Structure 1
Amino acid sequence: MRVGITDIAARAQVSEATVSRVINRRQGVARKTRDAVEQAMAELGYERTTQGRLVAVVTDHVSNPFFADVAERIESALAPHGLKTVLCPAFAGGVQEYDFVSSLVDKGIAAVVFLSASNTVEGADTEAYELLRQRRVPYVGVNGEFADGVAVPVFSTDDLLAAELAVDHLYRLGHRRIGMASGPAGNRPADRRVQGFLTAMARRGIEDAGRWVIRQSYTVEGGQAAVAPLLELGATAVVAASDWMALGAIRGIRRLGRSVPEDVSVVGYDGTGVTEFTDPPLTTVRQPADRLALEVGRSVLALVGNRDVPTGELLFDPELVVRASTAPAPATVPAPAGG
């Protein structure tokens, strides 16, 4: 027998208008009343319709092909089920995130996906998450657990394994002076990639690897800035925390009079299609965009349908893609840059 608003109102002992506001996640309903309606819906087996609902995808990296690819794949996974995604470009942890969430939550928004947004930043403002919980709007994260410590689904690439794959590849090529150009401190993926790098180096008997780590922004300019001090140390290889940083590193290496990969090998991270066509084609650790997006889609559909889903962080294995930006270590290490 089909359950309707009238049935829910009778069970919760509230008006049909109140039930409608709760179903559509609108404001103006006391928490105690909202809880009673939600409980009645669960007891009667009522499932919210998903037709025409919006799913917000919040990200700080719209210009990065990897994040654009993941967002597009999430859209493809949800569209057949009547859900439409809206892309919200917002600085991670900034006021824009809350502005987007608070503006959309009254529009019948079904869920929010934080795609390497405030969920990656240590000490980020939790106001947006609190609003979503108050309004019973589910949310999930990609590549970073949430600062508020609430157990929600998170889908991440295994950054520790990613660093191990990059270091192992370079070590097998004979490199011992391996540097890392990573993202800023306090960014969870960057911190984990650094942790993985240090662990991988220590596993191979290189205990002072901390001095080979340079923290910069996730940009071409950040990668370029990071290579100068690494070459001063005599690095013959660089592990970059993103493909953009890797491309910047290549530019910086060349501007310092060195060649890639003859003098210095470079490994990127993300694995977007464009890296196949760079000069040289970039060796990179590819994130599994397809599997990440698929699991995000499945989780969102289950949450919107009021079904339980596993919480906590689910890790996905990355893949090393070897191209022409890495080669055996040079027989003689060049003198430090500028020397």
Structure 2
Amino acid sequence: MKVGITEIAGRAGVSEATVSRVINRRQGVAERTRDAVERAMAELGYERAVQGQLVAVFTEHVSNPFFTDVAERIESALAPHGLKTVLCPVFPGGVQERDYISAIIDKGIAAVVFLSASNTLDDADTEVYEILRTRRIPYVGVNGEFADGVPVPVFSTDDRLAAELAVEHLHRLGHRAIGMVSGPTGNRPADQRVRGFVDAMARHGLTDAERLVIRQSYTVEGGQAAAGTLLGLGATAIVAASDFMALGVIRGVRRLGRSVPEEVSVVGYDGTLITEFTDPPLTTVRQPTERLAHGVSRSLLDLVGGREVPAGELLFDPELVVRSTTGPAPTT
């Protein structure tokens, strides 16, 4: 027998109008009533239709090809199932996430993806997560678990391993004075990369690695500023926490009269297509874009369909791509 609103209303002991509001995740329903309707839907085997509903993708770095690539792949995977993605540029830790949710939550929103947004911050405002949970709107994270500690699906590149791959590569080339430029303190991916870097250096007996770690913004300018400091500390190789930062490092090295890779080697992170065409082509640690997007999309479809999905952070291995910005350590 096909389950409809009438059957759900009868099982939950509420009006059909109330069931409609719960199904469409609208306001004006008490939490206890919403729980009763959701329970009745589960008992009767009712699944929400997803035709025409929205998936909001929150991200700060819309100018970074990695994030646009992930967002486009998610959109391509969800479109055949009637889900439409909306890209929402936000500043992590700001009020934009809450404002976006408030603006579109009654427009048929089905789910939210936090693509390196507030889920990357240790001290993020948890209000937006509470709103989503109250309205039974599922959400997932990419590259960062959530500050409120509520277990939800998160799909992340193994940032510690990424830093280790870069250090191992440079160490094999003879570099010992290896520096790192990472993102701000309190940014979880940045913190993980620093831990991976320090641990990898320690395994090679280089116990003072933390003095060669510079925290900066994830920009070309941040990388350029860090380059001068790290060269002043004697670094012959620099690991950057993004490809944009790595390009800034190269600019900073050159403006100080040094050459890449003859005098200073540079490794980036993200591995977007553009790194093949930089001058010189950038050695980088590539994030598994396709696998991340596939994991997010499959999880969203299950969640929107009312099916259970394993919670917690799932780590994906990155890949070292060796090109022309790394070479043997200078002999003098």
TM-score bracket, shorter-length normalisation: over 0.9
Hey, what's the Cα distance between the residues in 1 that align with 2:154 and 2:202?
A: 29
Hey, what's the Cα distance between the residues in 1 that align with 2:11 and 2:318?
A: 49
Counterpart for residue 2 of structure 2 = 2
- For structure 2, list consecutive stretches of 5 or more residues without a partner in the other structure: none
Counterpart for residue 167 of structure 1 = 167
| Secondary structure at 2:35 match in 1 | helix
Task: Kindly tell me the number of residue pairs found equivalent between the two proteins.
Answer: 332
Shift of 1:101: 1.2
Asked if structure 2 preserves the Cα contact closer than 8 Å seen for 1:223 and 1:247, the reply is yes
Hey, what's the Cα distance between the residues in 2 that align with 1:101 and 1:255?
A: 45
Counterpart for residue 213 of structure 1 = 213
Hey, what's the Cα distance between the residues in 1 that align with 2:51 and 2:281?
A: 44
Hey, what's the Cα distance between the residues in 2 that align with 1:197 and 1:269?
A: 13
1:291-323 deviation digits (Å, cap 9, x = unpaired): 000000000000000000000000000000000
| Secondary structure at 2:210 match in 1 | helix
Shift of 1:86: 0.3
Counterpart for residue 262 of structure 1 = 262
Query: Does residue 11 of the first structure (1) align with residue 11 of the second (2)?
Result: yes
Counterpart for residue 92 of structure 1 = 92
Counterpart for residue 301 of structure 1 = 301
| Secondary structure at 1:107 match in 2 | coil
Asked if structure 2 preserves the Cα contact closer than 8 Å seen for 1:275 and 1:282, the reply is yes
1:215-258 deviation digits (Å, cap 9, x = unpaired): 00000000000011110111110000000000000000000000
| Secondary structure at 1:3 match in 2 | coil
Counterpart for residue 45 of structure 1 = 45
Hey, what's the Cα distance between the residues in 2 that align with 1:322 and 1:102?
A: 45
Counterparts of residues 197-236 of structure 1 (less than 5 Å): 197-236=197-236
Counterpart for residue 238 of structure 1 = 238
Counterpart for residue 127 of structure 1 = 127
Hey, what's the Cα distance between the residues in 1 that align with 2:104 and 2:309?
A: 24
Counterparts of residues 283-322 of structure 1 (less than 5 Å): 283-322=283-322
Report sequence identity in percent.
79
Query: Does residue 191 of the first structure (1) align with residue 179 of the second (2)?
Result: no
Shift of 1:132: 0.1
Question: Given residue 204 of structure 1, which amino acid in structure 2 is its aligned partner?
Answer: H
Hey, what's the Cα distance between the residues in 2 that align with 1:129 and 1:83?
A: 21
| Secondary structure at 2:106 match in 1 | helix
Counterpart for residue 149 of structure 2 = 149
Shift of 1:76: 0.7
Asked if structure 2 preserves the Cα contact closer than 8 Å seen for 1:222 and 1:245, the reply is yes
Shift of 1:72: 0.3
Asked if structure 2 preserves the Cα contact closer than 8 Å seen for 1:59 and 1:116, the reply is yes
Counterpart for residue 101 of structure 2 = 101
Shift of 1:93: 1.4
1:41-100 deviation digits (Å, cap 9, x = unpaired): 000000000110100000001000000000000001101111110000000111001101
Question: Given residue 243 of structure 2, which amino acid in structure 1 is its aligned partner?
Answer: D
Question: Given residue 152 of structure 2, which amino acid in structure 1 is its aligned partner?
Answer: V
| Secondary structure at 2:252 match in 1 | helix
Asked if structure 2 preserves the Cα contact closer than 8 Å seen for 1:113 and 1:141, the reply is yes
Hey, what's the Cα distance between the residues in 1 that align with 2:278 and 2:226?
A: 20
Hey, what's the Cα distance between the residues in 1 that align with 2:223 and 2:101?
A: 32
Shift of 1:102: 1.6
Question: Given residue 309 of structure 2, which amino acid in structure 1 is its aligned partner?
Answer: V
Hey, what's the Cα distance between the residues in 1 that align with 2:104 and 2:311?
A: 24
Question: Given residue 308 of structure 1, which amino acid in structure 2 is its aligned partner?
Answer: E
Hey, what's the Cα distance between the residues in 1 that align with 2:33 and 2:67?
A: 39
Stretches (4+) displaced over 6 A? none
Asked if structure 2 preserves the Cα contact closer than 8 Å seen for 1:102 and 1:131, the reply is no
| Secondary structure at 1:206 match in 2 | coil
| Secondary structure at 1:57 match in 2 | strand
Shift of 1:103: 1.3
Question: Given residue 213 of structure 1, which amino acid in structure 2 is its aligned partner?
Answer: V
Shift of 1:210: 0.5
- For structure 1, list consecutive stretches of 5 or more residues without a partner in the other structure: 333-339
1:12-32 deviation digits (Å, cap 9, x = unpaired): 011100000000000000111
Hey, what's the Cα distance between the residues in 2 that align with 1:212 and 1:128?
A: 37
Shift of 1:122: 1.2
Could you tell me the TM-score, scaled by structure 2's length?
1.00
Hey, what's the Cα distance between the residues in 2 that align with 1:142 and 1:295?
A: 10
Question: Given residue 165 of structure 2, which amino acid in structure 1 is its aligned partner?
Answer: L
| Secondary structure at 2:105 match in 1 | helix
Asked if structure 2 preserves the Cα contact closer than 8 Å seen for 1:102 and 1:128, the reply is no
Counterpart for residue 336 of structure 1 = none
